[in-house]
Amino acid sequence: MSGPHGPAFSGRVGWGSAPALVVIDLVRAYTEPDGPFALPDATSTVAATEQLVAAARSGGRPVVWTVVEYAADLSDGGLFVRKVPALAAFADGAPGGWGELTLAPEPGDLVVAKQYASAFVGTSLAATLHVAGVDTLVVAGVSTSGCVRATATDSLHHGFRAQVVREACGDRTVELHEQNLRDLDAKYADVTGLDEAVARLAG
C-alpha cells in the first residue's frame, strides 16, 4: 500500500545502543505437550530463546521474564479470565504448576508478574527499563498473536524499539504466528532473525 510519499507501512524502528531481552510467558502451560496452552512444537521456540538468553548474558544485557499470576479466586483477572477461562491454570494454588518458567532465571534477572496480555499493563516494567537506560527490547516467547504482540505494541507506546525475534516466538498455528509477525512488522515493531538478535545482544 503506497501513497504519494512512499510506502504507508513497514518503516524501521531499528536498533538502539542498549538492548534488553524480554521473554514473554515461556512457561510450562505452553511448552509441555499436555499443557492447557500447549504449542504444536515448542522445542524450536525454547531452543532459540536459550540462544538469546546466552547472548544477553555474554553481552551484559538485562534479561526480563514475564509470568502470568492470579489470586486463587481470580479476582484480579478482570474480564480477561472470563474471555479465556483456561487462564485459571495460573491462579495461586492451581494444580499442575503450569505457570512455572520453562527456562530458569538467574539472580539479577527481573521477573515480572502480570495479569493481562501486555507486560506493561499494571506493572512497573517501563519505568524500570527507562531508568536502566534500555532503548531496545528484544522480544521472545509466547504467544505471537497474544502476549508477544501486546508487549511489542506497548513497547512502541512506551518509547522502546521492539525487535521481535521470528524463531524465538510461537503460537498455536503456524498461520497465526506468521500473520501476526507480518502485521507487527508493518506497524509496531521490527521482526528480526535469530542470528541478528544474538549478535546485537552479545555485542
In a domain, 193, yes or no: yes
Structural domains of the chain, count: 1
The pLDDT of residue 6 is 54
Q: Is residue 5 one of the residues assigned to a domain?
A: no
Euclidean distance between the first and final Cα of the chain, in Å? Answer: 36
CATH no. for residue 196?
3.40.50.850
Whether 169 is catalytic: no
* Domain span at 112: 17-202
Q: Classify residue 6: in a domain, yes or no.
A: no
Q: For residue 10, is it within any domain?
A: no
Q: In this predicted structure, what is the pLDDT of residue 177?
A: 97
Joined together, the cell numbers standing for residue 19 give 538492548
Yes or no: say if 28 and 35 are a contact pair by the CB < 8 Å rule. yes
Q: What are phi and psi of 76, to 5 degrees?
A: -100, 10
Q: Tens-of-pLDDT digits for all 203 residues of the chain? A: 444 445 788 899 999 999 999 999 999 999 999 999 999 989 999 999 999 999 999 999 999 999 999 999 999 999 999 999 999 999 999 999 999 999 999 999 999 999 999 999 999 999 999 999 999 999 999 999 999 999 999 999 999 999 999 999 999 999 999 999 999 999 999 999 999 999 999 99
* Distance, CA of 198 to CA of 144 (rounded, Å): 19
pTM of the model: 0.94
pLDDT for res 3: 44
Selected catalytic residue, list 26, 42, 55, 147: 147
Q: What is the pLDDT of residue 10?
A: 82
- Of the candidates 184, 198, 196, 167, the one whose C-alpha atom is nearest the C-alpha of residue 11 is 184
Domain contains 8 = no
* 3-state SS assignment for residue 5: coil
Residue 195 lies in a domain: yes
| Position 167 in a domain | yes
Give a yes or no: residue 139 inside a domain: yes
